[in-house]
Structure 1
């Protein structure tokens, strides 16, 4: 589905033909349409590999229909991919593990080539599979890749050094509809990603790249772009904004601060999977208009996740022969268009081979389980699925600790449910007892994290659990049921439980004072008691902003992705059969009659 690109009609068609071109343009107006996708996470098709059926409202193949429609409406346009593209789906996992990436074009990049993207920014998950995979993935991209705050060293793949650009220039020509004169329009695109990648994927990046701050980088390149003659400056920022708070300061979600940088005409957000405009999550922040799509007066859009929406910013432009181009900001239109639309079937052949290979990849038998593994109620009671992950982490961590020579300490294991539920009717991961297939492992552990082991004391352990315990709303007496008590602003992946200790969470108490009992081997945990905790590299290195977890107390790092650790754990069990019962080591009181 190649776009029929026309800047603006070169002439006005009439019965007598085209008007003759004049050498000098006059005053006129036009509109630049900026389209964005973000956080697609490898969801190319409208297909759920875990459920085994088609889905609506997701998949870049559905977003493609919106792209085509938007281009027909406004020929002067720009299409930007804003990161977290090549990770997060079964198809993406298949490519990372089995696809000949060095010899063939990555199927996801082939899709973007067909859609004729103009530029792509990198998200934090682009780095999950390492720099060599990243370089190979984008090697056949027919569009530039911007990474303004990434500094690539000589030790990084040479291919990557050549691919990434600090500032991307897009040149268009606009035809004056009156005189026929062609007027150049220079668009500069800045792209930034969270510098926390240096913590989250340290094992891939240390010594090979470094990441500067998003705000300082944007300030530098916005100024440079204007000095070099940019008519329009677009910021693709793989970041969101602080939610449900009036405080705009946040190390990871810097979108509000970025909107204050002088010279930015359009702000493309991502990372948080929100739809903006259209959410009230940012309403407590000053100068945020969640209906018109403005942040501190700057047009801003965030297009959800998995191809669910297409972000559109229409920038009216006025051209004056003496002064050049000017954005007519009060007339800017911003919207996020839903992808609940017919899919672009003509693109399916690009993905047929990868789709068939992914289905085969998912069906590989890897073991068996004696009881179902479910995340469904993991937000308010111990979960069989969470404990499967915790036990696998502990198994590998013990191997690493035995070989390390570190002092012996009690070993705990922390994990969160990735696909739990906020209500009884909401879908959640549940795997039936019996044969376990490769796809089920991907359903249980959807992120390419690796294993880290941290050393903490009892006071820090309690703070860790207290931070998870904020995942419940404050209740005055006792909530009618535990579903109603869940705080949906705390995502599932930020609700850790820790296997190896027993504890009680009383949600009637204020946040920070809810862990009313914490024991190890039936004895109260003291503040100075020391533990090792097996967790993932995202959490250990600051992901989720848990207290005391910033990478400084990591004592061991595993090399394998945790999905592979789960597979190895299964293979090590007698008959590859998992039959552990759920350990009811923690409970919540203050909901569902639990007092």
Structure 2
């Protein structure tokens, strides 16, 4: 600021002129663009269906990015992680052909064409290990940040912990102000990842890094960023928005991050939702779903797989020698829209992006089309949430087959073996086409990836019969409570419950009584002590012995605490298998050559007590409906609606 001489006393006229000058001072408009949760959907292609797709792909978002940039003078672009894993292209690069040192990962062959300013680390970046992550990041022509992952130095002294990544970045950014003059604004970026990476990727991270609380990390670094001259601070949490009391180590911390002083904008992700526009956040204190602000801070979350582009528009005014944000709002733009059963593209793909990764794309197609077996019947997940299902049955059969071999000659040989698996593709936010659908005949590797989409590591836990039942009680959160004797149809499926947490446990028989309330809440805490939805549990035709010990085959996510299931926190794991669940399924199919995928119907619903319930599925499901399922039409998202007798 200009320093006034002690000999000069401003008059009232001078002050008035100064006030007028201040009122008309130039401002800067800055647009912040975000991509997140791309999960290797770089091109507009569905590798499971083996066909072009209008609803996914960074190549389509790229068109939106170019359009959004062309509308303004000043813009920056960030990516919020969960980039390197999530579809067959990601697995092909990491496990099929294997990325070599010095090569550019195809994600960055594409992204380097779009001039990103910065990237944040998502939780799925750790799925293939730290070595692969660092080898991949070396190909990015833009910096990466993360503020809450530290080197594990093993000394139990948090005061000397060193960040594993660069925690934040301040970029001097040339912009044009409202008078057309060039200015330089110091834009600060800070990124976060859920601390739960230490659970979800325990084998990859233990002894190498530690993860700390998101809010505490923000409060530590943001004052430093301010003191180092950041005019604007953009938080990039790979973290969703859970509305409730904050708990240390919160996974979805964005709602509370917005309360941290000094943050000017939030570009968030992780939970695969769209904000502004998420109706579950209507009428929530501090959340404005119209302007896209949280406690006054503009924030956006642009879906997943390249479904949307997030935009935050800021207005800055000069303050002393720097600048400050005085106004902001957010919005999202979609690459496609649903019209009944059809996905209508809103933009065309940027062929420069598709061309950049054509070599890896073709390699993935060849990799995925390899035959591994043959099925005597169609395999689909159309009814995976309402009856025992062949797509889950195959996974459970494969896991039991594998476990029977791996426990031989160990102290666990002779214990009964159960298996837990969930429907990964069962509609939901993925839309009415997001179901496993494998026609009878040859089964290729792409079909195995369709059955088991995550590169999880196989784990075996040891539990009592009572603990197995509690596992199922938590899994039964998939269903709403049904009120008996009501003629009006009631929705059976709790759409806020992720289908990957609906574990079906094979090797026992049981019923689910949805007329009773849930025993557990969404955070895995008992809220109805006397409620028991799981009934008539038997093992080999006899009531299950609550004290009997069982081996249960699952994956590293569940065994280590993913989904917050009782007795699953890593302490009950007894076998860390050397293979991935998906590889186990592939090897099982190869060993069987020809399989019958019929489900064994080991679980079913108890009576609905005179109520009418409905559920949604793919329109293709009409051809597979049983006599107990009545098709009633399509909903406004293109899902087929069925009433269940």
* TM exceeding 0.5: yes
Quote the Cα distance in structure 2 between the aligned partners of 1:204 and 1:483: 44
CA contact (8 A) 2:33 2:75 kept: yes
Matched with 1:577 is: 594
Residue in 2 that maps onto 1:473: 480
Q: Which residue in the other structure is 1:202 paired with?
A: 202
Matching residue of 1:327? 325
CA-CA distance at 1:178 after TM superposition: 4.6
Counterpart of 1:56 in structure 2 is: 54
Does structure 2 conserve the Cα–Cα contact (< 8 Å) formed by 1:42 and 1:306?
A: yes
Residue aligning to 2:569: 550
| Cα distance change of structure 1 residues 510 and 154 upon mapping to structure 2, 3 Å threshold | closer
Inter-partner Cα distance in structure 2 for 1:482 and 1:506: 17
Q: Tell me how far apart the structure 1 counterparts of residues 454 and 283 of structure 2 sit (CA, whole Å).
A: 31
| 1:153/1:548 CA distance change after superposition, 3 Å | closer
2:345 counterpart of 1:345: no
CA offsets 1:385-428 (integer angstroms, 9 cap, x no match)? 10111121222223332254336422110010011246996552
Counterpart CA distance in 1 for 2:486 and 2:91 is 40
The 5-angstrom pairing of residues 60-75 of structure 1 reads 60-75=58-73
Partner of residue 27, structure 1: 25
Of stretches 230-239 and 472-481 in structure 1, the one that deviates more from structure 2 is 472-481
Structure 2 vs 1, CA of residues 100 and 397 (structure 1 numbering), >3 Å: closer, same or farther? closer
Residue of structure 1 equivalent to 2:80: 82
Deviations 1:19-77 (Å, cap 9, x if unpaired)?
xxxxxxx9310111111111111101111122222221321000001111111122322
Match of 1:567 in 2: 586
Q: Which residue of 2 aligns with 1:445?
A: 452
- Report the 3-state secondary structure (helix = DSSP H, G, I; strand = E; otherwise coil) of the residue aligned with 2:604: strand
**2:180, 2:493 → 1: CA distance?**
63
Contact (CA 8 Å) 1:172, 1:186: kept in 2 or not?
A: yes
Q: Provide the C-alpha distance between the structure 1 equivalents of 2:363 and 2:385, rounded to a whole number of angstroms.
A: 34
CA separation of 1:139/1:153 partners in 2, compared to 1, >3 Å: closer, same or farther?
Answer: farther
**1:234 pairs with 2:234:** yes
User: What secondary structure is seen at the aligned counterpart in 2 of 1:133?
Assistant: helix
Supply the RMSD in Å over aligned alpha carbons: 2.5
Tell me: CA distance 1:479–1:199, structure 2 relative to 1, closer, same or farther (3 Å): farther
| TM-score after normalising by structure 2 | 0.82
Q: 2:496 aligns to what SS in structure 1? A: coil
Could you list the per-position Cα deviations for residues 292-346 of structure 1 after superposition, in whole angstroms to 9, with x for gaps in the alignment? 21112211110000101010001100014x35211113xx120011123111123
SS at match of 1:281: helix
1:363 aligns with 2:362: no
Change (3 A) 1:178 1:387: closer
TM-aligned CA deviation for residue 580 of structure 1: 5.3
Distance 1:355 1:176, change over 3 A: closer
Q: Secondary structure at the match of 2:138?
A: coil
Distance in 2 (CA, whole Å) between partners of 1:482 and 1:365 is 43
Are the equivalent residues in 1 in contact too, given 2:482–2:490 (CA < 8 A)?
no
TM normalised by structure 1 equals 0.88
* 1:572, distance to aligned residue in structure 2 (A): 2.7
Identify if the C-alpha distance between structure 1 residues 237 and 169 changes in structure 2 by more than 3 Å, giving closer, same or farther.
Answer: same
Aligned in 2, Cα 1:203/1:480: closer, same or farther, shift over 3 Å?
Answer: farther
Alpha-carbon offset, residue 240 of structure 1? 0.3
Which residue in 2 is equivalent to 1:119?
Answer: 118
Q: Unaligned stretches of 5+ in structure 1?
A: 1-25, 156-160
- CA gap of 1:309–1:179, structure 2 versus 1, over 3 A, is closer
- Correspondence 1:166 to 2:167: yes
Residue 360 of structure 2 corresponds to which residue in structure 1? 354
**Is this contact kept in 1: 2:457–2:577, CA < 8 A?**
yes
SS across alignment from 2:579: strand
Q: What secondary structure does 1:164 align onto?
A: coil
Match of 1:535 among 554, 558, 563: 554
In 1, Cα distance between equivalents of 2:486 and 2:455 = 36
8 A contact 1:239–1:269 mirrored in 2: yes
- The structure-2 alpha-carbon separation of the partners of 1:67 and 1:178, relative to structure 1 and needing over 3 Å to count, comes to closer
What is the CA–CA distance in structure 2 between the aligned matches of 1:59 and 1:466, rounded to whole Å?
37
**Which structure 2 residue ranges, 5 or more long, are not aligned?**
1-23, 155-161, 337-346, 520-531, 614-627, 629-643
**Rounded Cα–Cα distance in structure 2 between residues aligned with 1:399 and 1:259:** 51
Count of aligned positions: 557
C-alpha contact (below 8 Å) 2:508/2:602 kept by paired residues: yes
1:408-557 matches, within 5 Å, as 408-421=414-427, 427-477=434-484, 484-512=491-519, 513-557=532-576
1:494 Cα shift? Answer: 1.3
Contact 1:145 1:163 in 2 (8 A): no
Q: Match for residue 109 of structure 1?
A: 108
